[in-house]
Amino acid sequence: MVASALADVAVIVVFVLVGRASHAEGETLGGVLGVMAPFLLALTAAWVAGGVWRRPRGLRTGLTVWAATWLGGMALRRVVFTRSTALAFVIVGGVFLGLGLLGWRWVTSLVTARRARPAAVAARPGGD
């Protein structure tokens, strides 16, 4: 569970660092935290309200985490942090967060399925 939470946080950190670098905004701690805060708050809300800890690596869970983090983060950014939510940023944010938050879960499910397959074949009668 901790690894899954850290993976989600890492996606947000990369999203913010790539975005700030692409706009040459610099990497000051205050600037990075100011952009990250609404998305980290939304991610935390998704984990708590959505019970993500029960099945943190599931793709269905990932959809919940992605939607809540993206939409909640944008709403918090606009309303609470009074920052811009230009349409291009909303779209890029949705795509980036979707690829990241769903992507690591998808890769994990593929690896898990691949590891389980040889065991399932060996367990069948005559599966040696």
- Tell me what percent of the residues of the chain surpass a pLDDT of 90: 69
Closest by Cα among 11, 19, 8 to 44: 8
pLDDT tens column, 49-66 = 988 989 999 999 999 999
* pTM as predicted: 0.83
The percent of the chain in helix, strand and coil, each rounded to the nearest 5, is 80, 0, 20
User: Which residue has better confidence, 97 or 27?
Assistant: 97
Residue count (the chain): 128
> Tokens 């939304």 sit at which residue?
42
Distance, CA of 32 to CA of 43 (rounded, Å): 16
Mean local confidence (pLDDT), 116-122: 63
Domain ranges of the chain: 2-123
Residue 116 has what pLDDT? 78
pLDDT at 41: 98
